Amino acid sequence: MSEMEAKAITGRERLAVLKRGRRALPSILAADFARLGDEVRPLVLAGVEVLHVDVMDGHFVPNISLGPPIVRSLRAVTDAFLDTHLMISEPLRYFESFVKAGSDLLTLHAETGVSPVDARAEADRLGIGLGVAIKPKTDVDEVVEAWAEYSDLILIMSVEPGFGGQSYIPEAEARLARTRDLCRARGVDPILEVDGGIDSETVSSAVEGGAEWLVAGSAIFRQDDPLAAWLYLESGPVAP
């Protein structure tokens, strides 16, 4: 896909043609930014269709990561779908900047207090997918009730957001399953994503809970063989 073709197709349209089901999303937060193109190209050539981008503002979470310029640089080296997780205090203020940089789907946190109606309206105006993220201590029932009908994706955090390399919180499996069941009861079917501590040992728990999109950073980019690590998370065995 050429750069011109990528711009002509909206993020929402690209999302609509992505096959549903299990997939591992390499999180570029764990990549070497000085070699970003070299880090992601082999994965995309091997079959990675979705890359995950973590954005932190140092206010909503106690860390600062990256902004639209890095997304723009990433878009320049790949036509992969860019799933962008905004861990920031005023997400709607920055939606357009990230879309112009190349993001296809933007996920904001329910804890920011943004109206789901307003978020959906802005996402529709910009032609992108919309996700909502839920911290480990936030009640999933309340968030699903408010957001399910407006969201293309629901992200269950399996660590406290803010830093990469944390350990998976086992309770995430039950929270994933609860979110899945609540959505089914409401007649909606958003993509269920999990982020935090996903590796070869925890991936089974997340998949059993119902996660489709499995975000992994260190478990891919910081392995001796990132491609093999990604492939295992993408399609490896799940414990019975």
CA atoms within 13 A on the CB side of 82: 30
Annotated catalytic residue within 118, 195, 199, 224: 195
Looking at this protein, which amino acid is placed at residue 108?
A: L
Backbone phi, then psi, for 238, in 5-degree steps? -120, 135
From the list 222, 207, 239, the residue with the least C-alpha distance to 24 is 207
Among 7-11, 129-133, 236-240, the least confident range? 236-240
Annotated catalytic residue within 54, 83, 104, 199: 54
CA-to-CA separations, 155 to 1, 3, 88, 123, 158, in angstroms, rounded? 28, 29, 15, 17, 9
* pLDDT the model gives residue 8: 64
* pLDDT the model gives residue 161: 82
User: Is 195 an annotated catalytic residue?
Assistant: yes
The most distant pair of C-alpha atoms in the chain lies apart, rounded to whole Å, by 46
Quote the percentage of the chain above a pLDDT of 70.
Answer: 94
- Report, as an integer, the average pLDDT of 33-61: 90
- Report, as an integer, the average pLDDT of 22-51: 92
Higher pLDDT, 166 or 25: 25
Q: What's the CATH number for 3-235? A: 3.20.20.70
Mean pLDDT of the chain: 91
* pLDDT the model gives residue 1: 45
pLDDT, tens digit, for every residue of 88-100?
Answer: 989 999 999 999 9
Looking at this protein, which amino acid is placed at residue 180?
A: R
Taking the whole predicted model, whether its pTM rises above 0.95 is answered as: no
* pLDDT the model gives residue 164: 63
